[in-house]
Chains A and B, each alone.
Chain A
Amino acid sequence: MNKELRRVSVIVLAMFLALFGSTTVISAIEADNLAAQSNNRRVVLDSYSAQRGAILVEGTPIAYSEPSDDVYRFQRIYSEGEKYSGVTGYFTLNQGSTGLEGSLNQQLSGTANSQFFDQLNAIITGQEPTGASIATTLDAEAQQAAWDAMQGYEGAVVAIEPSTGRILALVSTPGFDPNPLASHITSEVIERYTALDEARPSPLQNRAYGGGQYSPGSTFKIIMTAAALENGYAPDSQFENPATLTLPGTNTQINNPVVGQCSGGGDTVSMATALNLSCNIPYAELAQDLGVDTVADMAEAFGFNSSTQIPMTSTPSRYPRDIDEAQLMLTAFGMSSVRVNALQNAMVVAAVANDGVLMQPTLVDSVIAADLSVLDEFQASELGRPITSATASTLNDMLVDGVSNGAAGGARIDGVAVGGKTGTGENGPGEPFNLWFSGFAPAEDPQVAVSVIVGDGGGRGQQLSGNALAAPIARQVMEAVLNQ
């Protein structure tokens, strides 16, 4: 009987070890993940019990909390709500939180692990606990320029400092006012939320880094050119120059933007000319030569197919690998199933502008505790090196040529060398275009890389091009950064 009893004892011990394990997983290992869940009511209530930290742009609060008379004790206020709505997101009682309010909730509410000693101190001294403030990397003038320029359009602007990854401007339009969503009356919150949720185009969709993605059009040619240069091609590599091209295995004919042969004639055309004039057929041929894996590898090196934390988690831009040759050739000029958001496109030009080094983009400059001690300070970190310095330099020159002498002239700034690429993404017959511009300035020492997407054809269907509408918006943002 004792032998059996010993075995049963082992089973009992195993049962208890399972419980020791499961409780450890919940309270220690998974605790932070669980606290980050949006339906965790305790976290919501906790975040109201302390004075929530502010979100700062150049030292000025754009979101802050003031004492209120009700049970929640503090009211969240957004001073320039709409303009910064793509950055702050909203902070609600019962509909969760988004943006910096959501992703940095623990720091703002003072419950992050880095604030452990402050919490302990608050408990011992009986003082009111206070959350940390977030100083953002945003440039107020660049943000203002981007916001002003995007008025009346659906879309997004993301501007990055190429050498560090600091996000200087992040705008998603239409924006929304987060103030009514911060109401302490839940029925008001729901009413306002429902109205925003049902509005079209949806203000709650973040087009800068979130799910609102667009076909990139010819801006994808930057990645194609990078892939070509990394694989033995040069700017003067020649491609056949027919007026139309029938995609293999289909009856689909593709054209250049200006219908006819690229550059007006000739049996062949160089890659530099094709990029400068944004010709589609040579790039389709290039894609066919490179193959899907080479193109996809380059796209992924720039950040496609994976999300990044800015600290909000971005929606991955998509470059599919399971496509046939005809689809591959369409992706060369941003058609078929490639989908991109403004953040991803800005990362591409930022890497080109930074000698081929892709920096981790971020909105957070520092996390500052209530006693003004710095809990966490921004440190530039490298995300990868998608292209060599030589490739970056060649590509830089080619993109500058596109603005100064080519199809991207709308972004020209007097006395400054600007590099960039336009894009006009098609969404199907009769559907409005996506108008893109991605670029950087000044070319010799880039201070800003910017990507602009205007959806819905800028309200004019298929009449406008990326160069006509998106490039001037990008120019205004770049000017705002450079004029300081």
Chain B
Amino acid sequence: MSTEAVSTATGLQNLTGVITLKLRTPSRLRNLELGLLLFAIAINAGSFVLVQFGVLGQVEPGMLTASFALAGLALAVHVALRISAPDADPLILPIATVLNGTGLAMIYRLDLAKGFEGWGAASVRQIVWTTLAILIATAVLVALRNYRVLQRFTYVAMFSAIVLLLLPLVPGLARTDDVAAKVWIDVAGFSFQPGEIAKIALGVFFAGYLVQHRDSLAVGGRKLLGMRLPRVRDLGPILLIWAAAMGVLVFQRDLGTSLLYFGLFLVMIYVATGRLSWVLLGLGLFLGGAIIASQTLVYVNSRFTVWLDAFNPQYADGDAYQLVQGIFGIAQGGMVGTGLGQGRPSIVPLAESDFIIASLGEELGLAGLFALLALYLLLVSRGFRIGFAGRDDFGRLLAVGLSFVVALQVFIVIGGVTRVIPLTGLTTPFLAAGGSSLIANWIIAAILLRLSDSVRNQPRLVVGP
């Protein structure tokens, strides 16, 4: 063998060394994800078995397939990630899977208690929605190879958000039955909350708009009380969003969604411009509007009374019945809960959607609630991590916006159920029964996965052997 050949061999070895390093890092992430995912799948299967033992006293293979279906779908996403986003965050998918599965098990448990079967059972519909949601999320993940294209659709996103928000007010689409908040539409027999999808469109719009205009928005105007106010001509967007939020509040009678959109906007504008004055201005506007609304709109007013005085016998069996019974349920659960299938969560109206957290609190106890809250916190922190470490501002802003919207929604729902804030009708991300919410949150998970992939991509390990 000549020296030349040796040096070529060394060169080749160097080259392959680089390649193995490159490949090993992402696959280590994916392997970690696979491990966690299998753990999540085991937890979900365990929940289903426990529900069946708790309610039926035996295992019925029929509905167990639901948990296998979810497991299969999650593994499919995992494979898609290995191919299309190998550097993506390894925690997001297992967290979404275990939350979705826990919710599914609880919804199934409530169906068993109420004797619902087939298409009338919320759990069966939830499985279909889960399938749809994960397929859509996978499509988003694969199609959105380069998330930066989203920035081009800033204004398209704005218009879609507005259209989605207005849909429930269109006659013929609006759900006609007597639901307090007019946020639903009926399409071909399916109920859908377009507002859930709108929050993603809004996140994209805010991120795109703020990245473009942050410099002019950050320029100060007059000083007042030691704080530099924004210029009057820059007030346009905040007033527009405020009007939209108030519109949701007044016309769709939905305090929670209104708070969600506005909170999302405030956080994103603050992160983009670094100006506290925007936040204070916005909070002032929103609180002002909310106070006027609580004085003039009967339903907002009653939400506040019920919140402050829930255990007053005057309300406890009336307007506050759901809230009070939900709290009784959580209290009944105590530290470790009654065990799946052993409590009485079905006493609470809407135990499978708005109050699923009370149902879980009753049967899984404080320990279970803490675990769920910790999972949400972890999910949000993974999103924020992209915000800290991302390379381009659009991606960072989008990641922060989408994770914050999850955090805020969790806070509004669970805070409402546990009387930290007035109760409003929002869904608990991934857990609650409801297709629009599932689809929206799985899309958020997909976008976060895509964004995190780019973060991991930047400091490539190209160190020699």
A interface with B by C-beta (< 8 Å): 1-5, 7-9, 11-13, 15-16, 18-20, 22-28, 30-31, 34-35, 37, 39-43, 45-46
A262, chain B: closest CB distance, angstroms: 51
Q: Do A42 and B332 touch (CB < 8 A)?
A: yes
Q: Do B330 and A27 touch (CB < 8 A)?
A: yes
Q: Do B373 and A23 touch (CB < 8 A)?
A: yes
Q: Which residues from chain A contact B12 at a C-beta distance below 8 Å? A: none
Answer whether residue B274 sits at the interface, using C-beta atoms and an 8 A cutoff.
Answer: yes
Q: Do B418 and A26 touch (CB < 8 A)?
A: yes
Q: Which residues from chain B contact A31 at a C-beta distance below 8 Å? A: 331-332, 334
Q: Which residues from chain A contact B329 at a C-beta distance below 8 Å? A: 42
**How far is it, in angstroms, between the C-alpha of A43 and the C-alpha of B344 when the chains are bound?**
10
For this complex, 26 residue pairs linking A to B, each with C-beta atoms less than 8 Å apart, are: A1-B274, A1-B393, A8-B271, A8-B400, A8-B404, A9-B384, A12-B377, A12-B407, A15-B407, A16-B377, A18-B420, A19-B410, A19-B411, A22-B418, A23-B330, A23-B366, A26-B330, A26-B361, A27-B369, A28-B335, A31-B331, A34-B331, A39-B316, A41-B325, A41-B328, A42-B344
B329, chain A: closest CB distance, angstroms: 7
The chain B residue with its CB closest to the CB of A27 is: B366
B interface with A by C-beta (< 8 Å): 267, 270-272, 274, 311, 313, 316-317, 324-325, 327-335, 343-344, 347, 361, 365-366, 369-370, 373, 376-377, 380-381, 384, 387-388, 393, 396, 400, 404, 407-408, 410-411, 414-415, 418-420
B401, chain A: closest CB distance, angstroms: 10
Q: A5-B388, A22-B418, A26-B331 are in contact. Are A12 and B404 (CB under 8 A)?
A: yes
Please tell me which one of the listed residues B330, B334, B335, B384 contacts residue A5 in the complex, with CB atoms under 8 A apart: B384
Please tell me which one of the listed residues A5, A23, A39, A46 contacts residue B369 in the complex, with CB atoms under 8 A apart: A23
B362, chain A: closest CB distance, angstroms: 8
Q: Do B408 and A15 touch (CB < 8 A)?
A: yes
**How far is it, in angstroms, between the C-alpha of A27 and the C-alpha of B331 when the chains are bound?**
4
Q: Do B365 and A27 touch (CB < 8 A)?
A: yes
Q: Which residues from chain B contact A35 at a C-beta distance below 8 Å? A: 328, 331-332
Q: Do B270 and A4 touch (CB < 8 A)?
A: yes
B176, chain A: closest CB distance, angstroms: 32
Q: Do B328 and A1 touch (CB < 8 A)?
A: no
**How far is it, in angstroms, between the C-alpha of A12 and the C-alpha of B317 when the chains are bound?**
34
**How far is it, in angstroms, between the C-alpha of A4 and the C-alpha of B393 when the chains are bound?**
13
Q: Do A23 and B344 touch (CB < 8 A)?
A: no
Please tell me which one of the listed residues B311, B335, B373 contacts residue A37 in the complex, with CB atoms under 8 A apart: B311
Q: Determine chain B's interface SS by DSSP, over half rule.
A: helix
Q: Do B324 and A39 touch (CB < 8 A)?
A: yes
Beyond the given pairs A12-B404, A12-B407, A41-B328, 10 more chain A to chain B contacts, judged by CB atoms under 8 angstroms and listed by A's residue number, are A1-B271, A8-B400, A9-B381, A15-B415, A23-B369, A26-B361, A27-B369, A34-B331, A35-B331, A41-B325
Q: Which residues from chain B contact A42 at a C-beta distance below 8 Å? A: 328-329, 332, 343-344, 347
The chain B residue with its CB closest to the CB of A32 is: B331
Q: Do A22 and B270 touch (CB < 8 A)?
A: no
Q: Which residues from chain B contact A12 at a C-beta distance below 8 Å? A: 377, 380, 384, 404, 407
Q: Which residues from chain B contact A34 at a C-beta distance below 8 Å? A: 327-328, 331
A116, chain B: closest CB distance, angstroms: 10
Q: Which residues from chain A contact B410 at a C-beta distance below 8 Å? A: 16, 19
Q: Do A20 and B317 touch (CB < 8 A)?
A: no
**How far is it, in angstroms, between the C-alpha of A8 and the C-alpha of B396 when the chains are bound?**
13
Q: Which residues from chain B contact A22 at a C-beta distance below 8 Å? A: 414-415, 418-420
**How far is it, in angstroms, between the C-alpha of A325 and the C-alpha of B207 when the chains are bound?**
75
Please tell me which one of the listed residues A9, A11, A13, A23 contacts residue B361 in the complex, with CB atoms under 8 A apart: A23
**How far is it, in angstroms, between the C-alpha of A35 and the C-alpha of B400 when the chains are bound?**
41
**How far is it, in angstroms, between the C-alpha of A40 and the C-alpha of B344 when the chains are bound?**
12
Q: Which residues from chain B contact A1 at a C-beta distance below 8 Å? A: 271-272, 274, 387, 393, 396
Q: Do B331 and A41 touch (CB < 8 A)?
A: no
Q: Do B327 and A16 touch (CB < 8 A)?
A: no
The chain B residue with its CB closest to the CB of A29 is: B331
B158, chain A: closest CB distance, angstroms: 22
**How far is it, in angstroms, between the C-alpha of A34 and the C-alpha of B326 when the chains are bound?**
11
Q: Which of B313, B316, B411 has the most CB of A within 10 A?
A: B411
**How far is it, in angstroms, between the C-alpha of A8 and the C-alpha of B361 when the chains are bound?**
28
Q: Which residues from chain B contact A11 at a C-beta distance below 8 Å? A: 267
Q: Do A28 and B384 touch (CB < 8 A)?
A: no
Q: A1-B393, A26-B331 are in contact. Are A16 and B407 (CB under 8 A)?
A: yes
| List of 3 A-B pairs having minimum Cβ-Cβ separation, nearest first | A22-B418, A34-B331, A27-B366
**How far is it, in angstroms, between the C-alpha of A45 and the C-alpha of B271 when the chains are bound?**
51
A483, chain B: closest CB distance, angstroms: 47
A197, chain B: closest CB distance, angstroms: 16
Q: Do A16 and B274 touch (CB < 8 A)?
A: no
Q: Which residues from chain A contact B317 at a C-beta distance below 8 Å? A: 39
Q: A1-B274, A3-B274, A39-B313 are in contact. Are A27 and B415 (CB under 8 A)?
A: no
Q: Which residues from chain B contact A27 at a C-beta distance below 8 Å? A: 330-331, 333-335, 361, 365-366, 369
The chain B residue with its CB closest to the CB of A16 is: B377
**How far is it, in angstroms, between the C-alpha of A42 and the C-alpha of B270 when the chains are bound?**
46
Q: Which residues from chain B contact A19 at a C-beta distance below 8 Å? A: 373, 410-411, 414-415, 418, 420
The chain A residue with its CB closest to the CB of B347 is: A41
**How far is it, in angstroms, between the C-alpha of A453 and the C-alpha of B202 when the chains are bound?**
73
The chain A residue with its CB closest to the CB of B313 is: A39
**How far is it, in angstroms, between the C-alpha of A1 and the C-alpha of B408 when the chains are bound?**
20
Q: Do A4 and B271 touch (CB < 8 A)?
A: yes
B368, chain A: closest CB distance, angstroms: 10
B431, chain A: closest CB distance, angstroms: 14
Q: A5-B400, A16-B377 are in contact. Are A23 and B407 (CB under 8 A)?
A: no
The chain B residue with its CB closest to the CB of A15 is: B411
The chain A residue with its CB closest to the CB of B357 is: A23
**How far is it, in angstroms, between the C-alpha of A16 and the C-alpha of B330 when the chains are bound?**
17
A114, chain B: closest CB distance, angstroms: 14
**How far is it, in angstroms, between the C-alpha of A42 and the C-alpha of B333 when the chains are bound?**
11
B418, chain A: closest CB distance, angstroms: 4
Q: A27-B330, A37-B311, A39-B316 are in contact. Are A20 and B388 (CB under 8 A)?
A: no
Q: A16-B377, A16-B407 are in contact. Are A5 and B271 (CB under 8 A)?
A: yes
**How far is it, in angstroms, between the C-alpha of A28 and the C-alpha of B377 when the chains are bound?**
22
Q: Which residues from chain B contact A39 at a C-beta distance below 8 Å? A: 313, 316-317, 324
Q: Which residues from chain B contact A9 at a C-beta distance below 8 Å? A: 381, 384
Q: A9-B384, A26-B331, A41-B325 are in contact. Are A4 and B274 (CB under 8 A)?
A: yes
**How far is it, in angstroms, between the C-alpha of A27 and the C-alpha of B415 when the chains are bound?**
14
The chain B residue with its CB closest to the CB of A34 is: B331
The chain B residue with its CB closest to the CB of A33 is: B331
The chain A residue with its CB closest to the CB of B367 is: A27
Q: A1-B274, A12-B384, A39-B324 are in contact. Are A18 and B331 (CB under 8 A)?
A: no
Q: Which residues from chain A contact B400 at a C-beta distance below 8 Å? A: 5, 8
**How far is it, in angstroms, between the C-alpha of A327 and the C-alpha of B369 when the chains are bound?**
58
**How far is it, in angstroms, between the C-alpha of A13 and the C-alpha of B376 when the chains are bound?**
11
Q: Which residues from chain A contact B419 at a C-beta distance below 8 Å? A: 22
The chain B residue with its CB closest to the CB of A111 is: B332
Q: Which residues from chain B contact A45 at a C-beta distance below 8 Å? A: 344
A418, chain B: closest CB distance, angstroms: 46
**How far is it, in angstroms, between the C-alpha of A26 and the C-alpha of B384 when the chains are bound?**
30
A47, chain B: closest CB distance, angstroms: 12
B31, chain A: closest CB distance, angstroms: 29
**How far is it, in angstroms, between the C-alpha of A8 and the C-alpha of B418 when the chains are bound?**
23
**How far is it, in angstroms, between the C-alpha of A19 and the C-alpha of B365 when the chains are bound?**
14
Q: Which residues from chain A contact B414 at a C-beta distance below 8 Å? A: 19, 22-23
**How far is it, in angstroms, between the C-alpha of A37 and the C-alpha of B381 when the chains are bound?**
39
Q: Which residues from chain A contact B313 at a C-beta distance below 8 Å? A: 39
**How far is it, in angstroms, between the C-alpha of A16 and the C-alpha of B412 when the chains are bound?**
11
**How far is it, in angstroms, between the C-alpha of A31 and the C-alpha of B414 when the chains are bound?**
18
Q: A1-B396, A12-B404 are in contact. Are A18 and B411 (CB under 8 A)?
A: yes
**How far is it, in angstroms, between the C-alpha of A23 and the C-alpha of B388 when the chains are bound?**
30
Q: Which residues from chain B contact A23 at a C-beta distance below 8 Å? A: 330, 361, 366, 369-370, 373, 414, 418
B355, chain A: closest CB distance, angstroms: 13
A71, chain B: closest CB distance, angstroms: 13
The chain B residue with its CB closest to the CB of A123 is: B339
